[in-house]
Amino acid sequence: MRVTQDDFYKRVAKKCGCPNYVAANYVRAVFAEIADILLNEDSLTIEKFGRFETYRTKARVGTDPNTLEKKYWDSNRVAKFSPSMFLANRLRAAE
C-alpha cells in the first residue's frame, strides 16, 4: 500500500492526539531539519531507525548508450539511508 503525504500527516496526528495541521507542521519541521543536516555534509543517526548521510561520487568517464560517444560525468553529492539492525530485522520478520 502506498502512503501519501496527507496519509502520513493523519497517522502522526492520530498517534499524537493533535489536529492534522499541527502534525503536518511538526513533520515538515523534522524533515526540514534532516535536510539541513545533510546539506551541511553531516550525518544523522536515529536510534532503532537508521542513519542518513551524504557522500561524494567519483567523477568518471563513460559511454553515452544512445550515441556511443565518451561522456564525462562530474562528481556528485548524494544522500544515503542505511536502516538500523533493529529496523532491518523488523522488516525481515514482517515478510
Query: What are the tens digits of pLDDT across the range 41-81?
Result: 889 999 999 999 999 999 999 998 899 999 998 999 999 99
What spatial distance separates the first Cα and last Cα of the chain, rounded to whole Å? Answer: 14
Q: Residue 1: what pLDDT?
A: 84
Question: How far apart are alpha carbons 87 and 18 in whole angstroms?
Answer: 26
- Pair 58, 85: CB distance under 8 Å: no
For residues 27-52, average pLDDT: 94
Question: How far apart are alpha carbons 39 and 32 in whole angstroms?
Answer: 10
Q: Residue 42: what pLDDT?
A: 83
Question: How far apart are alpha carbons 94 and 83 in whole angstroms?
Answer: 15
Q: What are phi and psi of 81, to 5 degrees?
A: -120, 130
Q: What is the value of pTM for the model shown? A: 0.77
